[in-house]
Amino acid sequence: MVDRTTEPSAGKPFPVSWDQFHRDCRALTWRLAEIGPFHAVVAITRGGLVPAAIVARELGLRTIDTVCIASYDHTKQGDLQVLKGVSEDVAKLGGGTGKGLLIVDDLVDTGKTGRLVRALMPDAHFATVYAKPLGRPLVDTYITEVSQDTWIHFPWDTALSYQPPLRGGR
């Protein structure tokens, strides 16, 4: 779950293609392979579903679970609500504290969601593809840091369309 602090029209746009996202997820996996092994992957929904699937495939992990947290609509963040926690079977794999579990998300922004997930699984390894400065200290492994005022346009949130040049003209 991305805890976004700005509206999509605000800040610097950072469009990410499917190809780029896949490459970044594989790069994340290379780093994680040196740290593991892990018992299971826990995706933070919804943003963590795609990177968790790629990471799990690359690491050969078959046990994948989700933590489902709602915190915002497409533009505004509200109070966090845990819709679904980690299953009892996966929690047991992590000894109740998350040890040996790998939490995956697409982005850590302010860290609000990250702090909640850390409280649920304090000993898990937390990995994101992208990190912003406010949330970065919560993450153990990430690939790319972007500025706090950057708005990442993930491939599942976008459609192909004309983009005007940054500086006038056609």
CA gap 19, 51 in Å, rounded: 12
User: Catalytic site residue 89?
Assistant: no
- Asked if residues 57 and 10 have their Cβ atoms less than 8 Å apart, the reply is no
109 is annotated as an active-site residue: yes
How far, rounded to the nearest angstrom, does the alpha carbon of residue 50 sit from its chain's CA centroid? 9
Q: Report yes or no: 60 and 87 within 8 Å, Cβ to Cβ.
A: no
Residues β-bridged to residue 30 = none
The catalytic residue among 89, 105, 140, 149 is 105
Q: Which of 73, 109, 140, 149 is catalytic?
A: 109
Q: Are 131 and 142 in contact (CB under 8 A)?
A: yes
Active site residue 157: no
- Active-site residue, from 3, 106, 123, 140: 106
Cα–Cα–Cα angle for 5, 144, 94, nearest 5°?
85
Catalytically annotated residues: 105-106, 109
